[in-house]
A = this chain, B = another copy of it.
Amino acid sequence: MERRSDKPIKVTEVCLRDGSHVVAHQFTVEQVQKIAQGLDEAGVHYIEVSHGDGLGGSTIQYGRSLVNEMALIEAAVAACKQAKVAVLLIPGVGTVHELKQANKLGASLVRVATHVTEADVSAQHIHLARELGMEACGFLMMAHSAPVDKLVEQAKRMESYGAQAVYVTDSAGALLPEGVRERIRALRDSLDIEIGFHAHNNLSLAIANTLVAIEEGATRIDGSVRCLGAGAGNAQTEVLIAVLQRLGIEVGIDLYKMMDLAEDIVGPILPHAQEINKGSLVLGYAGVYSSFLLHAERAGKRFGIDPRDILLEVGRRKAVGGQEDLIIDVAQEWAQIQRAGV
């Protein structure tokens, strides 16, 4: 495989952040220590540690963490000899207060995450991170839902704020390989900073999409060991390393150590395996936020219609997080159309 960039590929392991959703944010200090140590010894470059919804996410709305994330960050930093500890911050969920605290505890990279059309709100936190001497990246979520030129415009804003990389974040696992190709290619053509890619496996394309991203010049890649992430999980890190080795792309991560970590440490704490079930598949197919699933099921029951039809329509209208009210509107309209026999 020919790569459009000759920079080394850096892997960010997200099982201790995106994977936090899978364990309902109940990671213990001991689990984080063991997993971070294993990832560090295997040679992973960055380990992201935060509530699943980023710093400050431990609330009744997003789900309370068992352990304060600052204690988990501290444990991960202590366990790492070479890996850097990263945090995720969604402005509005997390604040400058948490970012300063995480930095004081040793987190050295922040990924500031916004909806793909709302890069503006990342300015303050990217600025602050750079002032603190942290590495700062932009993380454009639901990247499938915006036209490519819009994505480029938003990424350029993040670059202008001082981001050192911008990620195409396929939050709903909705992108097909060609969609990844055109997005990464357009960013590579337009930005001077590194490009990243964060996959979800809802359509079983996380690894394949990640390969396309690397081919087109992405050098920051997210993986989750044992596929531990929201929905159907992310690009399974140990599988990704195996495939990259088969392609002759060396990223400096020990495959056997990653496989052992996945099997012996992470596997046993999984509450359920990361297969693609009806819920995760419909999210990827409709391209909607995972939080919409439960609302659509409730509305479907109330109006006597298939929740999948609601989610597909919500996806077509490109609803963003917080627009759960739209689900009721769509369900109501859909039920009326069905009754009218149209």
Instruction: List A residues at the B interface (Cβ < 8 Å).
Output: 1, 176-178, 201, 203-208, 211, 226-227, 235-236, 238-239, 242-243, 245-247, 255-256, 259-260, 262-263, 267, 272-278, 281-282, 284-285, 306, 308
Chain B residue with minimal CB distance to A246?
B176
The answer to whether B259 and A282 have CB atoms under 8 Å apart is yes
Measured between beta carbons, the chain B residues less than 8 angstroms from A211 are 177
Complex: A262 Cα to B275 Cα, angstroms: 12
Measured between beta carbons, the chain B residues less than 8 angstroms from A204 are 201, 204, 206-208, 235-236, 239, 243
The answer to whether B207 and A205 have CB atoms under 8 Å apart is yes
The answer to whether B247 and A260 have CB atoms under 8 Å apart is no
The 20 listed contacts between A and B (C-beta, < 8 Å) are A176-B247, A177-B208, A203-B207, A203-B239, A203-B246, A204-B204, A204-B207, A204-B235, A205-B208, A207-B208, A227-B275, A227-B276, A242-B281, A245-B285, A246-B285, A259-B282, A259-B308, A262-B278, A263-B277, A275-B275
Measured between beta carbons, the chain B residues less than 8 angstroms from A277 are 262-263, 267
List the 9 shortest-distance A-B pairs measured between CB atoms, nearest first: A208-B208, A273-B273, A263-B278, A204-B207, A273-B275, A242-B285, A204-B239, A259-B278, A203-B243
Chain B residue with minimal CB distance to A275?
B273
Measured between beta carbons, the chain B residues less than 8 angstroms from A227 are 275-276
Known contacts A238-B281, A239-B276; can you find 12 more A-B pairs with CB under 8 A? A176-B243, A176-B247, A201-B204, A204-B204, A204-B206, A204-B208, A204-B239, A259-B282, A260-B278, A262-B277, A267-B277, A273-B274
Complex: A238 Cα to B211 Cα, angstroms: 23
In the assembled complex, the CB of A113 is this many whole angstroms from the nearest CB of chain B, namely 25
Measured between beta carbons, the chain B residues less than 8 angstroms from A235 are 204
In the assembled complex, the CB of A258 is this many whole angstroms from the nearest CB of chain B, namely 10
Complex: A255 Cα to B281 Cα, angstroms: 11
Measured between beta carbons, the chain B residues less than 8 angstroms from A275 are 226-227, 273-275
The answer to whether A306 and B207 have CB atoms under 8 Å apart is no
Chain B residue with minimal CB distance to A279?
B263
Complex: A201 Cα to B232 Cα, angstroms: 15
In the assembled complex, the CB of A38 is this many whole angstroms from the nearest CB of chain B, namely 14
Complex: A260 Cα to B238 Cα, angstroms: 31
Chain B residue with minimal CB distance to A255?
B285
In the assembled complex, the CB of A135 is this many whole angstroms from the nearest CB of chain B, namely 29
The answer to whether A256 and B177 have CB atoms under 8 Å apart is no
Most buried by B among A177, A226, A245: A177
Measured between beta carbons, the chain B residues less than 8 angstroms from A284 are 242
